[in-house]
Amino acid sequence: MFVKQVSTGLFEGFFVGKGSVSDEQAGDPSGLIRKALGTRSIVLVGMMGAGKSSVGKRLAQRLGLPFADADGEIESAAGMTIPEIFAQRGEAEFRQGEQRVIARLLDEGPMVLATGGGAFINAETRARIGKAGVSIWLKADLDVLMRRVRKRSNRPLLQNPDPEGTLRRLMDERYPIYAEAAITIQSRDVTHEEIVNETMVELAGRLGIGKKIDPGAPLPVTQTVKVELGERAYEIIIGPNLIEEAGERIAKLAPGAACAIVTDEMVAGIHLAALEDSLKIAGIRTAHVIVPAGESSKSYPMFERVCEAIIAAKMERGDLVVALGGGVVGDLAGFAAAVVRRGMRFVQIPTSLLAQVDSSVGGKTGINSVYGKNLVGAFHQPGLVLADTDVLDTLLLREFRAGYAEVVKYGLISDAAFFAWLEANHRGVFSGGVERIEAIRTSCAAKAAVVARDEREEGDRALLNLGHTFAHAFERIVGYDGSRLVHGEAVSIGLVCAFRFSVRLGLCRGQDAERVAQHLHSVGLPTHMSQIPGWNATAEMILEAMAQDKKVKRGKLTFILARAIGESFIAPDVAVDDVRAFLDEDFARKTG
């Protein structure tokens, strides 16, 4: 599915090249935007190289407002360049001066203000911008930023042997905070005027001027995928604002039922109140239990805690367990629902990309054992899945990338056209456009079709484990330490291993394996074991970890291998010596 360009409708006349007409005649909202702003400024935030100054100058000219560059003001006040300030006075003193300069500029009245990459990270500055301005995040992908910052040497934070690694780290740290900006605009390699046009439309919509229209694509539309399981069939609803609609949808699913919400500490602070409000408005009684975030919660003690909390809340068999969180919460809550009162219905509200496209669909629930991942559990299908795409904007970039590995997996299993589509459209998936909804819909539809054919993994549902025999072994070796390796990162490395192993066995072309590795690397995912922090495992350690995998049958290793991209198959009885030889060869590679 490709996104088509559409007319900008109400504001179609104000774009460049429309002829010499008055603002009012052209439908130019510049004057209306200035009026709506009042004394507030437009504040551009984002990483170095995002284009804040170049876009800001043109935006100011279009709006008839003064332009200020915070870094330029700092240099003027200090009488030295930013690199000189960092070198002579240190970053801490620079940040203090930056905070004072931005406060002064915001007090000076309406303008377009471009800030430095770290300015918005300061909570006090962020709060001041929220009161005195409209923040706009110019969001750019890593490859775009690297092309731009390489052209200049005045970036003190990048003056080190690994500027790309530093930039990745800064993006991981800063993007969740930038996401708090009032407006997000994707900064990419198009003309500055095109970015300004999009910004004008978003500003007009944000300020309530006319109808907000996206100039690049139709507005997102909620999508529905059905999992066909006879009397136990259920829907996966994909789209924005679904947490706010959850009460209405759950009330229709189970009239009169109460809800026990299971969530984790991180998600609770962001989304729990909104969900409880939605359920309350629908007249639904609620209780909640909050567990620690992370894989460690998929344990016997946490399972007991959740079960006892559901019972203590006086939930009956006809009531619902609602899983609000990522894959860990979904697996834990689903397993509790499977056993409390000998089986309760449950609803999945996945808040990570990985959970939306994978773990929330299909009914696999469970916890971990000391012997391996997901070894204790049950098949228990949800009654409804609500994949709210808005919540994905709150994810750390690392978490979103991890989920993207599972999206790629569906293309590699049986849909070469989808993989090619991802190669061409991954930026839209990451930036949150209609491409994101389409990627989630396609992934869910692929999994739903497999689950409908083989609910309990007795046949081709095992194909969904492409890359996972390797991935689960890597996770077990690092002790499920998410600071070193999260599941999606393990899957990314595992996918590359599966294709390279297929090449070694003479099943697949080498260029297909390298194409897989290149695409995963291009979005910032690891593609080789050596990229796991502190990795020192041997081939024997990996084989021992694989021996505990659920796909082992009578001691024989089963792998999902590939003949080509989109042509994966189940390979039972893989010889251990072949796996060992591949691992020895891959250790020697030392890179993705």
Model confidence pLDDT, tens digit, residues 412-424: 999 998 998 899 8
Q: What is the pLDDT of residue 371?
A: 84
Active site residue 342: yes
More confident call, 160 vs 461: 461
Highest mean pLDDT among 205-209, 431-435, 481-485: 481-485
More confident call, 315 vs 153: 315
Strand positions, DSSP E, 361-469: 364-369, 372-379, 384-388
Residue of 305, 401, 426, 461 marked catalytic: 461
Residue range 164-172: mean pLDDT, rounded: 88
Residue of 4, 131, 151, 342 marked catalytic: 342
Q: What is the pLDDT of residue 33?
A: 87
Q: What is the pLDDT of residue 72?
A: 87
Residue range 23-33: mean pLDDT, rounded: 61
Active site residue 468: yes
Active site residue 40: no
Residue of 52, 62, 305, 364 marked catalytic: 364
Active site residue 406: yes
Whether residue 516 contacts residue 561, with contact meaning beta carbons closer than 8 Å, is answered with no
Tens digits of residue pLDDT in 211-225: 333 444 444 468 999
Tokens 């507005």 belong to residue: 219
Give the 3-state secondary structure of residue 104. helix
Given a cut of 50, is residue 3 above it in pLDDT? no
**What is the arrangement of strands in the sheet containing 345-350, beginning at the earlier edge strand?**
223-227, 234-239, 384-388, 345-350, 320-325, 259-264, 286-291
Tens digits of residue pLDDT in 536-564: 999 999 999 998 765 555 556 889 999 99
Q: Could you give the CA distance from residue 57 to residue 80 in angstroms, rounded to a whole number?
A: 23
Residue 53 binned pLDDT confidence (cut-offs 50, 70, 90): very high
Active site residue 212: no
Active site residue 487: yes
Residue 2 binned pLDDT confidence (cut-offs 50, 70, 90): very low
Given a cut of 70, is residue 156 above it in pLDDT? no
Q: What is the pLDDT of residue 485?
A: 94
More confident call, 290 vs 396: 290
Active site residue 465: yes
Residue range 253-266: mean pLDDT, rounded: 96
Residue of 447, 476, 528, 550 marked catalytic: 447
Given a cut of 50, is residue 402 above it in pLDDT? yes
Given a cut of 90, is residue 314 above it in pLDDT? yes
* Residue among 287, 281, 239, 243 at smallest CA distance from 262: 287
Tens digits of residue pLDDT in 228-237: 999 999 999 9
Residue range 434-441: mean pLDDT, rounded: 91
* Residue among 494, 579, 505, 590 at smallest CA distance from 543: 579
Q: Could you give the CA distance from residue 322 to residue 268 in angstroms, rounded to a whole number?
A: 13
Q: Could you give the CA distance from residue 411 to residue 405 in angstroms, rounded to a whole number?
A: 10
Q: Could you give the CA distance from residue 513 to residue 553 in angstroms, rounded to a whole number?
A: 27
Say which DSSP state 271 is in. I
Residue range 473-483: mean pLDDT, rounded: 91
Residue of 487, 500, 528, 550 marked catalytic: 487
Give the 3-state secondary structure of residue 181. coil
Residue of 139, 305, 426, 472 marked catalytic: 472
Please give the distance of CA 47 from its chain centroid, rounded to a whole number.
18
pTM: 0.64
- Measured at the CA of 360, the angle between CA 358 and CA 366, to 5 degrees, comes to 100
Give the mean pLDDT of the chain.
87
Q: Could you give the CA distance from residue 540 to residue 63 in angstroms, rounded to a whole number?
A: 65
Q: Label residue 339 exposed, middle or buried (CB < 10 Å: 0-12, 13-18, 19+).
A: middle
Active site residue 364: yes
Q: For 80-111, give one letter per residue: b (16+ CB within 10 A) or e.
A: eebeebbeeeeeeebbebbbebbeebbeeebb
DSSP class per residue in 353-390: HHIIIIITSS-EEEEEETTEEEEEEEE---SEEEEEGG
Q: Could you give the CA distance from residue 445 to residue 421 in angstroms, rounded to a whole number?
A: 16
Residue of 468, 476, 519, 528 marked catalytic: 468
More confident call, 572 vs 156: 572
Residue of 98, 455, 457, 475 marked catalytic: 457
Tens digits of residue pLDDT in 339-354: 999 999 999 999 999 9
Q: Could you give the CA distance from residue 126 to residue 78 in angstroms, rounded to a whole number?
A: 23
Active site residue 461: yes
Q: Could you give the CA distance from residue 422 to residue 414 in angstroms, rounded to a whole number?
A: 14
What are the distances in angstroms from CA 79 to CA 76, 85, 105, 184?
A: 5, 9, 18, 33
Q: Is the dihedral of CA 539, 543, 544, 545 positive or negative?
A: positive
Please give the distance of CA 164 from its chain centroid, rounded to a whole number.
20
Q: What is the pLDDT of residue 399?
A: 93
Active site residue 528: no
Q: Characterize the bridge pairing of strands 112-114 and 67-69.
A: parallel
Put residue 590 in one of left, alpha, beta given phi > 0 → left and psi -120 to 50 → alpha.
left
In order of their start, the domains of the chain are 9-206 (3.40.50.300), 223-395 (3.40.50.1970), 437-589 (1.20.1090.10)
